Amino acid sequence: MGRFPIFQSPHLDEVERKMRPSGDYRHGFLGKDDRKLVQVLSEDEALVRSLSLTDGAIARKLADLTAQARKGLGGPVVVEGRFRVQVQEARGKIACPWGHPGLYPKTHVELTNLATGERLVWTDLAVHMIEAHGFYQGQGSPYRMEPSVLKRVLDL
C-alpha cells in the first residue's frame, strides 16, 4: 500500500463523511459508491499499478493539459495536435476534503481526443487529489477518472 492508508482511520472516516453527497460537497466525490474510502483508494492503487502508471505521472499530465487549456481564457485549445481542451472557471474556491491548507479554483476541464472522440472531464482539485492522495473519486461521481480510461485517452 506504500504511502496510502491500510485501514479506515478516524481521519479517513471524517474525509469520507465530507465526500458523501449532501454534505459540504453536494455532488459527492464518492458519488454512489458505497465502498469505504480506504477500499476505493486501495483498489484504485492496485489498478494504477497494474497499468504500469503512477499517480504522479497521471497528475502531471492532467496538470500540464490544464495549464495549456488556461491559455484559451475559457475557449478551447488544441494541445499536442491531438487533444482539444477547454477550461471553465466558476466563482469561488473549494477545499480538499483531506483538510490541509489550500483552496482550489472551481474549474471544469474538458478534453476530447481528436482521433477517437473520447472525452475526459476533471477539476483542479481532482488533479490534486490524484497526486497527493491517489484518489480518483468514487463510481458515479461526475468527475470519476477511471485509470484505464485515462491511460487509453491520454495515451499514457
Partner 1 sequence: MIQLVLGLAALSGVTAVLALLLEVADAYFADYGECRILINDGQKELTVQGGSKLLSTLMDQGIFIPSACGGRGSCGLCKLRVLEGGGPLLPTETPYMEAEDLQNAVRLACQVKVRNDLKLEIPPELFLIRVYRSRVVSLENLTDVIKGVELRLIDPPEISFKPGQFVQFQVPEYEGCPEPIYRAYSIASPARRADTIRLAITRAPNGLATTYIHDYLREGDEVVFNGPYGHFYLRDTDREMILVATGSGLAPILSILHQMADEGISRKATLFFGVRARKDLFYQEELRAIEQRLPTFKNVPVLSAPEPDDHWQGETGFPTDAAKSSIQDPANVEVYLCGNPLMINAAVKMFTEMGIGEDRIFYDKFG
> Min. distance of Cβ 41 from partner 1 in angstroms?
15
Looking at the Cβ atoms of 48 and 65, the one nearer to partner 1 is 65
Alpha-carbon 105 to chain mean position: 14
- Tell me the CA end-to-end span of the chain in Å, nearest whole number: 23
Looking at the Cβ atoms of 56 and 75, the one nearer to partner 1 is 75
Closest CA to 125 of 8, 19, 5: 19
Q: Which residues pair with 119 in a beta bridge?
A: 112
> Min. distance of Cβ 68 from partner 1 in angstroms?
13
Sheet of 103-113, strands arranged across = 77-79, 83-95, 103-113, 119-122
Rg, the chain, Cα only? 15
- Which residues of the shown chain bind partner 1 in the complex (CB under 8 A)? 6-10, 13-14, 22, 24, 26-27, 70, 72-76, 87-95, 99, 101-103, 105-106, 108, 110, 121, 142-143
> Min. distance of Cβ 51 from partner 1 in angstroms?
27
> Min. distance of Cβ 86 from partner 1 in angstroms?
10
Looking at the Cβ atoms of 56 and 74, the one nearer to partner 1 is 74
Looking at the Cβ atoms of 77 and 156, the one nearer to partner 1 is 77
> CA torsion angle for 123, 65, 57, 114 (degrees, to 10)?
100
